[in-house]
Structure 1
Amino acid sequence: MTERYLPPLEHGLTAAEVQARIKAGQQNEPLPPLTRSIKQIFRDNLLTLFNAINVLLGGLVLLTGSYKNLLFLFVVIMNTAIGIFQEIRAKRQVDKLTILSAAKNQVWRDGQLVALDQDELVQDDLLSVTRGDQLPIDGIVRATTALEVDESQITGEAEPVIKGNGDSLTSGSVIIGGHGVIQATAVGHGSFIKQLARQAKQNKRTSSQLLTIINRIIKILTFTIIPLGAALFISTLMRGQGQNRAILGTVAAMVGMIPEGLVLLTSVALAAGAFTLGRHKVLVRELPAIEALARVDVLCLDKTGTITSGQLKFERVEPWQNADLQQVTTRLAKLMSAINDDNETAQALQMALGKPAVTPTEVLPFSSSRKWSGASFDEQSFVIGAPEFIFETVPETLKQRIAVLAQDGYRVLVFAQTSALTTPKPTAPQALGLILITDELRPNAKATFGFFENQDVALKVISGDNPVTVASIAQRAGIHGVDQFIDMSQVGTQPDYDHLVAAYNVFGRVTPQQKAKLIQAYQRADHTVAMTGDGVNDLLALRQADCSIAMATGSEATKSLADFVLIDSNFDAMIQVLNEGRRVINNIERVAALYLIKTMYSVALTLIFIFMSHSYPFEPIQLTPISSLMVGIPTFFLALQPDYTRITGRFMKQVMEIAVPSAICVVGYILAIDLLGTEFQLTFAATSTLSVLLTGIISLNALLITARPLNRFKIGLVVLMATLFTLVFLFGGSIFSLVSLIDWQLAAVYLPLMISAYPVFVILQNGLGHRILSKIKWR
């Protein structure tokens, strides 16, 4: 076995060594893209079962020589083209934001620390890592300052692992404490990064509820369309009618059963939503996440970076008891220099106190689970952190003083001398002083949180800080119920989380494991939960939540897991995210009924006319005015309308309350026209024209109900569609195989039907159909 090459620390590989490794194929690879390639987008939009059926039906129509009946293929082509265009547009927006949000890796090259993309790394590179970094390669530790690693994405164990020199690390691991230098031992296909980088997300996420329901409908139709079409074709031939009539009737029936626009509209709406959010500097990592956030009714907030801007300001050191202020300040400055942490608290203290020269003999950097850090120097040991995690029992006088300061909105840390840096708590700590830090409230925090509460989204604050301080800051931000707070460090090892989430709104001193369990408790209470975070202490909670939001300034591990990344780290953008999600889902749920009306009456008519002596009542060309004017065009505009009401989760019931009565109405009137046609000896052209007329009128009524609540735009849209539908009969008869309605004998048949259509539709809508559907539990 050959001995591994070890590049010099703080120098790394030379340019020549890097080029040699690239030529040898020892270069890392980028993460799999969030979006599909252009080729995949074209393939997945073109090569669908329904497109194949439509092409087959078009081929059959060609055999009849009735070329105008091929117009339905033009609609299919336009639908597919629009879907491809919207997805490519969304892809470009997402790809652009992905580049903006991608973190760089700090790598030693030729004695310089340079920032490189993941795919620029080569084998044996030396990576300088610190808290919050996620490893893009497999490696070994070359140098460490109390390196703590979360390997839960690999082992499933959430407990941090201490790593020493020579220890191995696997790609996907997250640095949660300390710093170190890692040498890449396996890159590209040799590492586990492709499988592990988003494993947590893939294990956790479920597909869109809306798309699941629609796909279930499509699956049922897949097994229905072909046998029904074949049965209709055979029965038409057996009645002695011509082959052309059999083909055109069968094609019309099968085209009517395909709700191709519904799948398209859903995909386009989600893609357009991702594009819109991209313009607001919000990266959407998964399209179904837009729907997930739209359904959220509990939003869990991490204080730092969400309620506050994340900018911490050191106010002062308050010496404890008889400690000398100057001596305490000097020792604190040395401690922060020795630990050399890069979190927000450490940066604020270092900026205020400076970085004096110090040579530590032992260093224990900050970790989310321990909640304190420390170092030994000048033959003494010191720690800084949350008092509850430093002392076995916080002295009563110290506790009272901290409570007073916390009520004033200060974040209070304890600076203490200890006899040994033991874990989980230091040995025999003696308080030297209290460190007072303030959080800067986000400028628009009050307006943002007020919006969410007005939208029936309950706000909960889950933070690792003192609950009194957190509650004080939350109150300043206008969040309600902040007087109901609890210190999670005092609840024991097996608390009743279901009781805690029911009784409290603010949770302080929360460990990463407790954050995840609190979210689980909200989910058990049948809530859809979103979680915001920016640090490695939020990883478990983000993984557990139904929808996760990360700040671009947060750790790379957090961003790689989140459904949404706020590129400008501006939480105010969440207003747009929630609105966009609700708009998309509410509008799709509303207009889906219009697509399924056509599907329902087409299936019912096909079943009926298999056993009747007359031909199927439509030709393919005659469905075009109904499909385009009563469904396709208006739903496109209705899907863009603002509708920010809370998602009800009643998709199927809402759809069926409109679609079932409408479909029954259409089938009833077409059967009545068929009987009247026999009675008055009307031609097929005449009865099919009346069938188109009555179907269009009923569909127009359904469109009017779907468009509620009405406004000027919606009324204008319905009137325009009705006008265009009328013009089809006046001037488009030859194109759409319709006879003229200016015929008094024919008018005697259709005028009573037209007059009765609206009251019959209303009776079915609000009477029998509503009572029946109200008793059905739709999922």
Structure 2
Amino acid sequence: MQTKIDLKTGLTTAEVEQRIATGQKNTPPPSLTRSTQQILRDNTLTLFNLINLILGMLIVTTGSYRNLLFLGVATFNTIIGIVQELREKHKIDQLSLLAESPLTVIRQQQRQVIVQGDIVRDDILFLSRGDQVPADSRVRQTDGLEVDESQLTGEAKPINKTVDSKLLSGSFIVSGQALVQVTAVGQQSFVAKLAHAAKQEKKLTSVLLDTINRIIKVLTFIIVPLGVALFISAYWQRGHLNHAILGTAAATIGMIPEGLVLLTSVALAVSALTLGRRQVLVRTLPAIEALARVDVLCLDKTGTITSGALTMSDLLPVAPYTKTQLEQALAQTVNTLNEDNPTAAALQAALPQLATWQKVQTMPFSSARKWSGVTFAEQGSFIIGAPEYVLHQLTPAQQELIAQHTAKGERVLCLARSQARLTADLPAKIEFWGLILLRDEIRPTAVKTFNYFATQDIAIKVISGDNPATVANIAQRAGIADSTHFIDMHTQGETADFDQLIRDYTIFGRVSPTQKQQLIRAYQAAGHTVAMTGDGVNDVLALRQADCGVALASGSEAPKSVADFVLLDSNFDAMAHVLNEGRRVINNIEQVAALYLIKTIYSVVLGFVFIFLNQDYPFAPIQLTPIAALTVGIPSFFLAMAPNYQRITGYFMAKVMHTAVPAAALIVSYILFVHLLGGQLQLDHAQTSTLSVLLTGTVSFSALISITRPFNRWKSLLVGSLITAFILMFPLAGQFFSLISLFNWSLALIYLPLICASYPLFRGLQSLIEYFVIQRIHWR
């Protein structure tokens, strides 16, 4: 039996220390990043690293230690991956700590603010609307507490909690407030499993990484058998073990798109850090890519269109009540409820502080009920809420009055009284006292932000719990297209046709939390990629359903725990930066991926062809290093970080193959031509391999020039420097890379025409690929 702790005193410092010493301290929220051990393991223990290691051991047996240089490149790539991911982990963990909402605990007769990881068993916590329950607890004192346990039970309907009711970690407070005593922490609590349960239900995937990993999976089944076959053929036909090992190693190394996955991960990580500097917490890296593909953006009005601030513009009493009576009753009700939402703040700021009436009970606001109220000992029960939810019947004149003000963009609430005591259901008899008019403030940059999204072909939809006419007026003021097409979702029953609704309307008002989720699901079913923004408990289901969820840090803890992005300064304008970062990553990786796959494709084809030719493989491992570094590794790193904010058009594989296939085909053709001609002219292996390196680099630079266009100063400098380094390699480092001198007129007569023809031939093959493949088959 758990000891009941005094609610006013809470635990003493000695009691807290005793519980920490006995292991009764809570588990902090799970890290949003992988552990250091996982990062080291996943970057080191890879199939390709294993293949590289085996090839290195085989090359050692030949005594040709220069050809081990590729191991240095592979090691360098691995180290870069580890260092970059550890840096990313450190930065994101820091941002996550800043974004973590504090908790209020009673200790030593005082309220203290602590983090979730500092909770101990038997702590007295103060929880209110919007909080997520951090550890299993028992309610000790409550004021209208309602809890959403949908993550535990799947039931979205709020559950009323009374004194001694159990609260499970991972659930959300949707109404009221309470003092609770923690009953279980650490591994004995649900928190480890459910703190991010909503996130676990929606696993974001990266289209880029998935496509690249599919390519690598195919290569996994090709590399080993093809390498073995090439080795057996070379050794069987020519009987030279060292040449067979070096040729097989070169072919196998060329097949590996080393660094492509690393580059994609690094590009996403750099984007996450860039966004972090703009006060955007990226909770999952694939979310950056997902948002770049979004074509429907669903907004909750508050915090996105409006600043979240409200002002009370007027009070309209209903006869026989006067404005003074209405103001007095409203002030008593608002001050007694003492809620912390924007509506309550606006009313408290505008209404006088009066000697309070004697309270019997309160019914805090619930997004499901759309009203709150107080029962007083002598004055009866007063209710504040949306007129259509509070009043059983409105006269035509009252309906017209409400419509006039909502059409002006004002939020209309009503005050009503009943002699009955309040419960979760409204009393049968209610007296209408008057209307309360509030006005939202449009964010200063809202019009500019929405205009930008419109130019990017991203449709804006507003899904709000407020009156649809009010929301539509605000949306029109913010410049959102088709804002006149609005609907009151309160009028839609359980059999509503959501597919039809999303086709006909832009503004959805009086939307319940479940309906928000159903609207998002309908857009997804129609083939759209959907982002959702929100800051309240009622947005949790929709944020979890969306392809990309965005929460405001100024909102409740619940939406922040399920969102993919958290706007730390609650500035919605930062969404444009997120969109651009995602586009930059996708567009640039689509470009540079072709450079990696050129080498992979021609290596696979040449490996297969040279199984049947009675000649040594055209490259040694050392000769592939300058080609890989100067035409792939160095330029891809710089190009992947370049600004490139064009719209995402899809067809990733088609774009990659548009460059990779013609370049690889031309390289294979050049090398086979050189070997065929070399046999006729009796060129030795050193001469044919040097020509192969020269022509492979030339075609690779043709592909690099193609994907780098349009050129600017820094791109011209980059490509020019790399080409210069490649040319100088032959006279300055030719001996190290097993290359002979190119100052030979008999060789020049071969390579000069081929070099001059390389770019026109490459562009011609690109045109053929574009005509016969991309336009007709539309590979993805």
Equivalent residue number for residue 725 of structure 1: 726
Distance between the aligned counterparts of 1:549 and 1:66, measured in 2? Answer: 56
Deviates more, 1:154-163 or 1:477-486: 477-486
CA displacement, residues 499-554 of structure 1 (integer Å, 9 cap, x when unaligned)? 11111111111111111111111111111000000110100100100000111111
Deviation at 1:565, TM superposition (A): 0.6
Equivalent residue number for residue 761 of structure 2: 760
Contact 1:133/1:556 (CA < 8 Å) preserved in 2? yes
Contact 1:661/1:769 (CA < 8 Å) preserved in 2? no
Amino-acid identity (%): 56
Contact 2:137/2:181 (CA < 8 Å) preserved in 1? yes
Change (3 A) 1:648 1:426: farther
Contact 1:281/1:566 (CA < 8 Å) preserved in 2? yes
Distance between the aligned counterparts of 1:672 and 1:434, measured in 2? Answer: 88
* Code of the aligned partner of 1:554: G
Contact 1:656/1:773 (CA < 8 Å) preserved in 2? no
Deviates more, 1:520-529 or 1:483-492: 483-492
Distance between the aligned counterparts of 1:505 and 1:241, measured in 2? Answer: 74
Deviation at 1:310, TM superposition (A): 1.2
Distance between the aligned counterparts of 1:588 and 1:392, measured in 2? Answer: 59
Deviation at 1:660, TM superposition (A): 1.3
1:32 and 2:30 correspond: yes
Equivalent residue number for residue 234 of structure 2: 236
Q: Mapping of 1:524-603 within 5 angstroms? A: 524-603=525-604
* Code of the aligned partner of 1:418: S
* Code of the aligned partner of 1:233: F
Equivalent residue number for residue 406 of structure 1: 406
Equivalent residue number for residue 391 of structure 2: 391
Deviation at 1:153, TM superposition (A): 0.4
Distance between the aligned counterparts of 1:402 and 1:670, measured in 2? Answer: 80
Paired residue secondary structure (1:635): helix
Paired residue secondary structure (1:412): strand
Which one of the candidate residues 293, 305, 308 is aligned to 1:307?
305
Contact 1:141/1:164 (CA < 8 Å) preserved in 2? yes
Deviates more, 1:768-777 or 1:129-138: 768-777
Distance between the aligned counterparts of 2:333 and 2:773, measured in 1? Answer: 73
Distance between the aligned counterparts of 2:675 and 2:490, measured in 1? Answer: 76
TM-score, normalization by structure 2: 0.97
Distance between the aligned counterparts of 2:388 and 2:494, measured in 1? Answer: 15
Deviation at 1:755, TM superposition (A): 2.8
Equivalent residue number for residue 175 of structure 1: 173
Equivalent residue number for residue 489 of structure 2: 488
Distance between the aligned counterparts of 1:653 and 1:452, measured in 2? Answer: 27
Distance between the aligned counterparts of 1:333 and 1:587, measured in 2? Answer: 58
Deviates more, 1:312-321 or 1:532-541: 312-321
Distance between the aligned counterparts of 1:700 and 1:658, measured in 2? Answer: 12
Paired residue secondary structure (1:764): helix
1:415 and 2:394 correspond: no
Equivalent residue number for residue 614 of structure 2: 613
CA displacement, residues 333-374 of structure 1 (integer Å, 9 cap, x when unaligned)? 111123222211112212322554233223211011111111
1:358 and 2:357 correspond: yes
Distance between the aligned counterparts of 1:314 and 1:202, measured in 2? Answer: 41
Distance between the aligned counterparts of 1:675 and 1:593, measured in 2? Answer: 28
Contact 1:407/1:469 (CA < 8 Å) preserved in 2? yes
Equivalent residue number for residue 471 of structure 2: 470
* Code of the aligned partner of 1:341: E
Paired residue secondary structure (2:613): coil
* Code of the aligned partner of 2:773: I
Distance between the aligned counterparts of 1:426 and 1:688, measured in 2? Answer: 91
Equivalent residue number for residue 264 of structure 1: 262
Deviation at 1:315, TM superposition (A): 2.4
Which one of the candidate residues 141, 144, 151 is aligned to 1:143?
141
Deviates more, 1:185-194 or 1:340-349: 340-349
Paired residue secondary structure (1:642): coil
Distance between the aligned counterparts of 1:572 and 1:660, measured in 2? Answer: 41
Deviation at 1:586, TM superposition (A): 1.0
* Structure 2 spans left out of the alignment, 5+ residues: none
Distance between the aligned counterparts of 2:252 and 2:230, measured in 1? Answer: 10
Distance between the aligned counterparts of 1:201 and 1:34, measured in 2? Answer: 10
Which one of the candidate residues 18, 24, 29 is aligned to 1:20?
18
Paired residue secondary structure (1:532): strand
Change (3 A) 1:393 1:260: farther
Contact 2:658/2:769 (CA < 8 Å) preserved in 1? no
CA displacement, residues 267-309 of structure 1 (integer Å, 9 cap, x when unaligned)? 1101111111111111111011111111111111111111111
Contact 1:334/1:358 (CA < 8 Å) preserved in 2? yes
Contact 1:391/1:425 (CA < 8 Å) preserved in 2? no
Deviation at 1:573, TM superposition (A): 1.2
Distance between the aligned counterparts of 1:579 and 1:341, measured in 2? Answer: 39
Contact 1:412/1:437 (CA < 8 Å) preserved in 2? yes
Paired residue secondary structure (2:487): strand
Deviates more, 1:418-427 or 1:457-466: 418-427
Change (3 A) 1:751 1:470: same
Paired residue secondary structure (1:166): coil
1:104 and 2:105 correspond: no
Equivalent residue number for residue 711 of structure 1: 712
* Code of the aligned partner of 1:436: L
Which one of the candidate residues 233, 250, 260 is aligned to 1:252?
250
Equivalent residue number for residue 673 of structure 1: 674
Change (3 A) 1:375 1:453: same
Contact 1:283/1:567 (CA < 8 Å) preserved in 2? yes
Deviation at 1:751, TM superposition (A): 2.2
Change (3 A) 1:227 1:458: same
Deviation at 1:39, TM superposition (A): 3.4
Paired residue secondary structure (1:689): helix
Contact 1:149/1:163 (CA < 8 Å) preserved in 2? yes
Contact 1:205/1:546 (CA < 8 Å) preserved in 2? no
Distance between the aligned counterparts of 2:242 and 2:318, measured in 1? Answer: 98
* Code of the aligned partner of 2:385: G
Q: Mapping of 1:438-477 within 5 angstroms? A: 438-477=439-478
Contact 2:295/2:530 (CA < 8 Å) preserved in 1? yes
Distance between the aligned counterparts of 1:422 and 1:388, measured in 2? Answer: 18
Change (3 A) 1:27 1:416: same
Distance between the aligned counterparts of 2:28 and 2:383, measured in 1? Answer: 40
Contact 1:673/1:691 (CA < 8 Å) preserved in 2? yes
CA displacement, residues 167-219 of structure 1 (integer Å, 9 cap, x when unaligned)? 11111010000111111111111101111111111111232111111111111
Distance between the aligned counterparts of 2:187 and 2:357, measured in 1? Answer: 43
Distance between the aligned counterparts of 2:58 and 2:395, measured in 1? Answer: 88
Distance between the aligned counterparts of 2:389 and 2:755, measured in 1? Answer: 78
Equivalent residue number for residue 631 of structure 2: 630
Paired residue secondary structure (2:304): helix
Equivalent residue number for residue 639 of structure 1: 640
CA displacement, residues 230-272 of structure 1 (integer Å, 9 cap, x when unaligned)? 1111111101242111111111011100101111110110111
* Code of the aligned partner of 1:704: I
* Code of the aligned partner of 1:536: V
Contact 2:773/2:779 (CA < 8 Å) preserved in 1? no
Deviation at 1:722, TM superposition (A): 1.8
Equivalent residue number for residue 316 of structure 1: 314
Q: Mapping of 1:344-383 within 5 angstroms? A: 344-356=342-354, 357-377=356-376, 378-383=378-383
Paired residue secondary structure (1:226): helix
CA RMSD, 1 decimal: 1.5
Deviation at 1:422, TM superposition (A): 4.7
Equivalent residue number for residue 192 of structure 1: 190
Deviation at 1:314, TM superposition (A): 2.1
Deviation at 1:125, TM superposition (A): 1.0
Deviates more, 1:86-95 or 1:481-490: 86-95
CA displacement, residues 610-659 of structure 1 (integer Å, 9 cap, x when unaligned)? 11100111011111121111111111111112111222221111111211
TM-score, normalization by structure 1: 0.97
Contact 2:387/2:414 (CA < 8 Å) preserved in 1? yes
Q: Mapping of 1:36-115 within 5 angstroms? A: 36-115=34-113
CA displacement, residues 20-47 of structure 1 (integer Å, 9 cap, x when unaligned)? 2112211111011112233332232222
Contact 2:409/2:439 (CA < 8 Å) preserved in 1? yes
